[in-house]
């Protein structure tokens, strides 16, 4: 059995960022990068499944420049068996990312694709669903529990009204939520082993093209000072005066 896990390189979620002076993007000078937290949860879950069933092979994959090797090495240190980097300097939209990963899925033939439900930079929550549509595979999003057995996946997922449990045949796509697990601390032996594990580089698919263009990036406007009111009537009057009520 093979599990493919996607790993995206993102700006550290706790880092403070600012737009470039020309508004063309985000200034990354001196900014720390890390693996997308939701993707780390996906890698951890794949490793836990492998610990239950040692025949499982874990392939960590990423799309981006050479700098993404750092995040793939982290996935290898956590327990992935090999890594594949689709090397490209293009700024892909989510559909193009999905198309690139679908091309890799067809080449690697995994039984399960695990990925974070969203990335902390784009926050789109789209790639997993798009991949499932393009492949015609069943999917389960926002997974908080995953059980694999006899060619099926049983997934407990979180919804706005509670938990829902789905069972589907493999191959399938599962996106991970925060409560699925807590990624392990990477010990020194894991880091050393990761250096000898294979990391393959591949060119991007010639068919994937971005359809979305970033027009401008702006900083969030400064928040205006608040105002205390003495009663509900005063609050309603103030909101009405501002055209908000």
Which has the closest alpha carbon to 177: 116, 128, 126, 124? 116
Q: Is the pLDDT higher at 219 or at 36?
A: 36
Sign of CA dihedral 93, 121, 41, 174: negative
Pairing of strands 162-169, 152-159: antiparallel
Q: What is the pLDDT of residue 61?
A: 98
Domain edges within the chain: 2-241
Q: Is the pLDDT higher at 55 or at 214?
A: 55
- Decide if 81 contacts 59 (C-beta within 8 A): yes
Instruction: Give, in words, the CATH class of 2-241.
Output: alpha beta
Report pLDDT digits (tens) over 207-221. 878 888 889 999 888
In the structure, what pLDDT confidence band is assigned to residue 25 with cuts at 50, 70 and 90? confident
Q: What is the pLDDT of residue 158?
A: 87
The number of CA neighbours under 13 Å toward the Cβ of 185 is 2
Within 10 angstroms of residue 96's Cβ, the number of other Cβ atoms is: 23
pLDDT beyond 80 at 153: yes
65 vs 208: CA distance, rounded Å:
16
pLDDT beyond 80 at 206: no
Mean pLDDT, rounded, for 46-55: 96
- 3-class secondary structure for 11-39? ECCCCCCEECCCCCCEECCCCCEEECHHH
Which has the closest alpha carbon to 139: 100, 101, 168? 168
The two three-digit tokens of residue 113, written as one number: 């694709």
Mean pLDDT of all residues in the chain? 93
Report pLDDT digits (tens) over 173-185. 999 999 999 999 9
pLDDT beyond 90 at 232: yes
Q: What is the pLDDT of residue 38?
A: 96
Report pLDDT digits (tens) over 101-131. 999 999 999 999 999 999 999 899 999 999 9
The two three-digit tokens of residue 11, written as one number: 């700006």
- Decide if 176 contacts 42 (C-beta within 8 A): yes
Report pLDDT digits (tens) over 64-96. 999 999 999 999 999 999 999 999 998 899 999
In the block, tokens 């996935």 appear at 75
pLDDT beyond 80 at 245: no
Pairing of strands 152-159, 139-149: antiparallel
Q: Is the pLDDT higher at 8 or at 193?
A: 8
């Amino acid at each position: 059995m093979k599990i493919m896990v996607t790993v995206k390189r993102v700006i550290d979620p706790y880092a403070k960022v600012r737009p470039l002076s020309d508004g063309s993007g985000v200034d990354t000078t001196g900014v720390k990068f890390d693996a997308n937290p939701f993707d780390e949860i996906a890698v951890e879950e794949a490793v836990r499944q492998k610990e239950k069933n040692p025949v499982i092979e874990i392939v960590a994959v990423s799309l981006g420049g050479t700098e993404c090797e750092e995040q793939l090495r982290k996935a290898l240190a956590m327990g992935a068996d090999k890594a594949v980097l689709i090397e490209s300097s293009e700024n892909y939209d989510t559909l193009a990312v999905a198309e690139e990963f679908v091309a890799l899925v067809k080449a690697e033939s995994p039984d399960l694709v695990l990925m974070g439900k969203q990335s902390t930079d784009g926050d789109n929550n789209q790639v997993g669903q798009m991949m499932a549509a393009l492949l015609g595979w069943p999917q389960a999003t926002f997974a908080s529990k995953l059980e694999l057995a006899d060619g099926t996946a049983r997934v407990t997922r979180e919804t706005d009204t509670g938990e829902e449990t789905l069972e589907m045949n493999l191959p399938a796509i599962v996106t991970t939520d925060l409560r699925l697990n807590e990624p392990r601390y990477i010990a020194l032996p894991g880091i050393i082993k990761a250096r000898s594990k294979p990391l393959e580089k591949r060119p991007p698919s010639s068919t994937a093209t971005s359809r979305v263009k970033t027009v401008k990036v702006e900083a969030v406007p400064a928040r205006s000072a608040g105002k205390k009111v003495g009663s509900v009537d005063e609050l309603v009057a103030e909101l009405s005066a501002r055209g908000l009520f």
